Amino acid sequence: MLSKPIVLLSIGFILSLSLCGVLAYLWIDRSVTQAYSDTGYERDKSYRLMVSLLESEWEGLSKDELLAALQSHIDRADSNAASLFTDDETGTIVIGTLVIELDEDRFKRIRPTD
């Protein structure tokens, strides 16, 4: 039979290894979560920049001019790239996951779909 100090040291060693395993898991998990969070933040920042550029470029365009520009771009891009829908009731143009709002048939702003 093993002596009491050896048993206590063995239990302490096993507990230390278990704690190190848990801490390593938490560290890796936090690093992965932070990487995903940073990617999402950068994507959101790029999205807001793109929307701001488009809004300044499209300011004052009529509905027909917007539709022509969007359709031209869709025709040049992959045929499955995006679908273009107009909703005269709400005064919006929906392309993919973006909604282009119109005010009196003039460009107003871009927002994500609800």
pLDDT per residue as tens digits for the range 56-92: 888 888 888 988 888 888 888 765 667 788 888 888 8
Sheet with 106-112: strands ordered across: 84-87, 92-95, 98-103, 106-112
β-sheet bridge partners, residue 42: none
Close Cβ partners of 96 (under 8 Å, ≥ 6 residues apart): 81, 82, 83
Amino acid at 88: D
Interatomic CA distance for residues 63 and 86, integer angstroms: 10
pTM of the model: 0.58
pLDDT of residue 51: 85
